Amino acid sequence: MISLADKVALITGASRGIGAATARLFAQAGARGIVINYHANRDAAEAVREDCIAFGADAIVVRADVAKVSSVRAMVGKTVSRYGRLDIVVANAGIWKGAPIEEMSEAQWDETIDTNLKSVYATCSAAAAHMLSQGSGRIITVSSTAGQRGEAFHSHYAASKGGIISLTKALAAELGPRGIFVNSVAPGWVDTDMSAEPLASRAERRKIMSLIPLQRVATAEEIAGPILFLASDLSNGMTGEILNVNCGSVLCG
């Protein structure tokens, strides 16, 4: 029923966590070609590639630092030269590092904004150039509850994710008339390497769970499912949407 047959997808930050789960799910949904972007973890990206191939997709791994516009442009160029088109982009790569505002250095601010937000500009800009010439395409950004209600001691992260939400809406309005859908998935806590440290602390975990109606964090696969929905024809009536996937946690914020 849900199918990505014949589609070519590029997923940033697909060596681990949500991006890796998305790549595997896209392969299971019949995608023809999958570009698995990584930055530091080539072996992990190769393992995701092998899984995608086992599900019947063609897949390649491409190293690119999403914080660098030229690096992202080169990756999108490689995708189009290999597959001849680009149907789906998931702008997922990101980092989450804490810093109190009074101690936050310019370098810390820039690293988070560049990796999480400038990267989405770079990815959408390079992808849109190809999608506009095709007259079709789907962009899914990965934002966060932090971009909706803020996050203490992670103000740069919250600002980057709030920026992604506005960017998603702006691009939906700009690109919709020309056949390109732009939506976002906004996860709450997800069980990945990114959140491993706070979730490993019993006290932190108890605090986190007290704010989640389902009393658990989501799995990476539970975020990949809604991303697949937004990448598929089943979401044809949606653009500019921010889809919350947070086990109910925005109800408590």
Ligand X SMILES: NC(=O)c1ccc[n+]([C@@H]2O[C@H](COP(=O)([O-])OP(=O)(O)OC[C@H]3O[C@@H](n4cnc5c(N)ncnc54)[C@H](OP(=O)(O)O)[C@@H]3O)[C@@H](O)[C@H]2O)c1
Q: Smallest gap, in angstroms, from Cβ of residue 136 to ligand X?
A: 25
> Residue 160 Cβ, how far from ligand X at the closest point, in Å?
8
**Residues constituting the chain:** 253
The distance of closest approach from Cβ of residue 135 to ligand X in the complex, given in angstroms and rounded to an integer, is 29
Find the shortest distance in angstroms from Cβ 207 to ligand X: 14
Q: How far is Cα 172 from Cα 167, in angstroms, rounded to an integer? A: 8
CB 90 within 8 A of CB 13: no
Element (H, E) at 49: helix 42-54
* 107 Cβ neighbours under 8 A, 6+ residues apart: none
Is 157 considered catalytic here?
Answer: yes
Q: Can you tell me the distance from the alpha carbon of 111 to that of 79, in angstroms, rounded to the nearest whole number?
A: 26
CA 229, 235, 239, 242 torsion: positive or negative? negative
Nearer to ligand X, 39 or 49 (CB): 39
1 vs 203 by CB, closer to ligand X: 203
Angstrom distance (rounded) from CA 213 to CA 249 = 6
What backbone torsions phi and psi does residue 11 show, to the nearest 5 degrees?
-125, 120
Euclidean distance between the first and the last CA atom of the chain, given in angstroms as a whole number: 35
CA dist 14 → 23, 33, 35 (Å): 7, 14, 9
DSSP state, residue 66? T
Residue placing its CB nearer to ligand X in the complex, 15 or 232: 15
CB of 117 to ligand X, least distance (A): 10
Site of interaction with ligand X (CB under 6 A)? 12-19, 37-41, 65-67, 92-96, 115, 142, 144, 187, 189-190, 192-195
Sign of torsion over alpha carbons 247, 93, 230, 179: positive
Dist CA 24 CA 47 (whole Å) = 10
User: Taking CB positions, which residue lies at the least distance from ligand X?
Assistant: 17
CB of 194 to ligand X, least distance (A): 4
Interatomic CA distance for residues 93 and 58, integer angstroms = 21
Catalytic residues: 157
